[in-house]
Structure 1
Amino acid sequence: MGELPRRIQKETQRLLSEPVAGISASPYQDNLRYFNVVLAGPATSPFEGGIFRLELFLPEEYPMAPPKVRFLTKIYHPNIDKLGRICLDILKDKWSPALQVRTVLLSIQALLSAPNPEDPLDAGVADHWKSNEAAAIEEAKRWTQQYATGSLP
C-alpha cells in the first residue's frame, strides 16, 4: 500500500478487520482505491435476501471529495438509476471529510431500508412508489430475487 495516503490505508484496514454487518468491502489488488463491495439487502426491506454488488472508488481528492459509488447489480429503487448511480446527499453536497467509506456504506444500506421517492433519481420508479407503494415493493422484491443472487464473501 505504498502509494496510498495513510487515511485510506487506515480505513481499509478497519473495513477488513472490523467489517460492518451485512457489508463486505475489499480493495482490488491491482488498484487499492477501487473497492469491491457486497451488500446484503436489509431485513424487512423489499431487498431482504438479496446480495447486491457495488463498486466504490476513492478519487485522488478523497477525503476532500466523496467516494464514487454505484450499484453493479440491477435494483428497483427510486434513488438508484438504471446505471446504478445513487442519489444520496452525502455523496454530493452533504459530503464532509469527517465521513468515511464505512459511513457511506451504512448510509447506502439505510437507503435500501428507507427509499425516498420525494428525492428521486429514477422518476418512473419514484412515481410507481408514490402512486402504488405496495406494487412498487412487489416489483423491488421481484428484481431482488431475479438479479441480486449470490452470497456475501
Structure 2
Amino acid sequence: MALPKRIIKETERLVADPAPGISAAPHEDNLRYFDVTIQGPDGSPFQNGVFSLELFLPEEYPMAPPKVRFLTKIYHPNIDKWSPALQIRTVLLSIQALLSAPNPDDPLATDVAKHYKENEKDAQRVSREWTERYASS
C-alpha cells in the first residue's frame, strides 16, 4: 500500500534535517513505524538520558494522532499532546520540550503529577534517578 505524500515528505525531512537531540528512522518493512531516540535536555532531570520510543502512524494520520510509546521507563507527569496540525518532527520536538518543562497541571500520570505538585524537588530527584537507572547510555 502506498504512503500518503504527507508521510513521505515528513519522513524525508526527518532524515535530511534531523532535530538536535532526536533521531527517528522508519522501519524498512513498515514505513509507518519509527524507532526514535530523544536525548534528555540539558538542565532538566532527564539530562544525560537517552530515551527510546516507538512511533506508529495510523491509517487515519494526520487526523488521528501518532501512537507514541516510551520504551525507556520515565518518571514524567505528561507526555500526551496532539493536534492534527503537528507533524512527526513537531510531535518529537514537543516531547523533547515536555522533558524540559514537566507540567503537573495537565497530567497523564496523575501520581507523578501529584508528586511534582507536592514536592517538586523530590519529584525531580526521582526523575533523575530513573534517568540514571533506565536511560543512561
Query: What TM-score do you get using the length of structure 1 for normalisation?
Result: 0.85
Query: C-alpha deviations, 1:91-119, integer Å up to 9, x for none?
Result: xxxx12x3210111111001111101111
Query: 1:6 deviation in Å?
Result: 1.5
Query: 1:149 deviation in Å?
Result: 2.4
Query: 1:87 deviation in Å?
Result: 2.5
Matched, 1:72 2:71: yes
Q: Map of 1:84-123 to 2, 5 A cutoff?
A: 86-88=79-81, 90=82, 95-96=83-84, 98-123=85-110
Show the counterpart of 2:131. Answer: 144
SS where residue 14 of structure 2 aligns?
Answer: helix
User: What percent of counterpart residues are identical?
Assistant: 65
- Number of aligned positions between the proteins: 137
Instruction: State how far apart, in whole Å, the 2-side matches of 1:58 and 1:122 are.
Output: 23
Show the counterpart of 2:29. Answer: 30
Show the counterpart of 1:50. Answer: 49
Contiguous gaps of at least 5 residues in structure 2: none
Instruction: State how far apart, in whole Å, the 2-side matches of 1:99 and 1:117 are.
Output: 22
Contiguous gaps of at least 5 residues in structure 1: 80-85
Query: What TM-score do you get using the length of structure 2 for normalisation?
Result: 0.95
SS where residue 36 of structure 1 aligns?
Answer: strand
Instruction: State how far apart, in whole Å, the 2-side matches of 1:127 and 1:77 are.
Output: 11
